[in-house]
Amino acid sequence: MEKYGYRFSFGPWNIHEGADPFGPPVRAGWTFADKLSAYKNLGYDAVQFHDDDVVPDMAELTPQQIRWAAQEMHKKLNAAGLATDFVAPRLWEHPLTIDGAYTANDATARQYAWDRSKICIDIAREMHSDLIVLWLAREGTYLREAKDVPQAMERLIAAVNMMLSYDPDIRIAIEPKPNEPVDLAYIPTIGHALALGAQTQDPSRVGVVMESAHAVLAGLDPADEIGFALAFGKLWNVHLNDQNGLKYDQDRSFGSVNLRGAFNQVRVLEENKYAEIGFVGMDVKALRTQPADLATKHLRNSLDVFLRLVGLVRSLDKKRVNDLLAARDYEELDWLILNHLLRDA
């Protein structure tokens, strides 16, 4: 398969059992070993990890035992010919993080978040990765009066500074999302994430992850969010997927809802040589209706759509585009793009 120099990743959570807030799992779970062996067959090169995807029983282990377990996982990954894309602290499931992690009102909860973040960094280093992704899931409020925004920003900056000091080599990529699980998240967009990074002690080590569905949920265009981050050299990862409007977070296959939107995400990545920057992550989930033995097709579809769109970006008549820009004939440009997308493969 021609991959145009791109390298692809997904997380173990992207092969899942189909549970949603209203119903239980509908498919048998895969073992981690089975998931690992699916990566190469599906054309993927790297694994996105949460800390407890690497060391599932981390809560019961000492820091040294956690390091050993991560070393074991790294060996498994090597044997499968895969790399680590990033490691992210899972700060949204523990009872102490019910009201947030770094911004919780309870000091014990904030301490838990700091301790766990350090362990996550230890794990990333054992996995030979310098990239920590922070999806700030519960940093926000359900109730406006529950927290103080400037104080929450101070706490977020302090947490990022603590991580930057803990390991002088790690980079942190903040993944914004406007809502879900909380009603009002503190870091809803790429702009917010960049502003936060700029206030830290080493902005050069703080960047962003753009997830398509999260941008759509914020009412923004994912391609523009990508372009905005690229303009500042801050796009260190992407989580491509799709989202049918302002609903629950759907993690639909890339391009399956808005193919032209997907084309424009690929176009901006191509034009700015993202292939040289980072992995193309697919943060996609199979529809709940999908039978267990057919539950990886969303990963196949997403990668295939991406690569075919790269082909379409490359074969677009750039001279014609420039002529139409000069003539300000955007209707003809619209027609050119539509015809290009609708042409026979």
Contact residue for Mg ion among 283, 305, 306, 310 (CB under 5 A):
283
- Told to check if 175 binds ligand XLS by CB under 6 A, we report yes
Active site residue 298: no
Among ligand XLS, Mg ion, none, what does residue 51 contact (CB within 5–8 Å per kind)?
Answer: none
CA 189 to chain centroid: 13
- Tell me which residues in 3-22 interact with ligand XLS (CB under 6 A): none
Among ligand XLS, Mg ion, none, what does residue 44 contact (CB within 5–8 Å per kind)?
Answer: none
- Told to check if 285 binds Mg ion by CB under 5 A, we report no
- Tell me which residues in 82-121 interact with ligand XLS (CB under 6 A): 88
Active site residue 239: no
Q: Between 269 and 288, how does the x/- string for binding to ligand XLS read (CB under 6 A)? A: --------------x-----
Question: Which of 52, 53, 85, 242 is the catalytic position?
Answer: 53
Residue 180 CB neighbour total at 10 angstroms: 15
- Listing DSSP states for 202-237 in one string gives -GGGEEEEEEHHHHHHTT--HHHHHHHHHHTT-EEE
User: In this structure, what are the phi and psi dihedrals at residue 154, rounded to the nearest 5 degrees?
Assistant: -55, -40
Distance CA 197, CA 305 (A): 32
Distance CA 230, CA 241 (A): 19
Cα distances (Å, whole numbers) of residue 17 to 228, 251, 287: 35, 14, 10
Question: Which of 16, 34, 45, 50 is the catalytic position?
Answer: 50
Distance CA 126, CA 74 (A): 7
CB of 14 to ligand XLS, least distance (A): 8
Report the residue number, 15 or 324, with the smaller CB distance to ligand XLS.
15
- Residue numbers at the binding site for ligand XLS (CB under 6 A): 50, 88, 133, 135, 175, 177, 211, 239, 249, 283
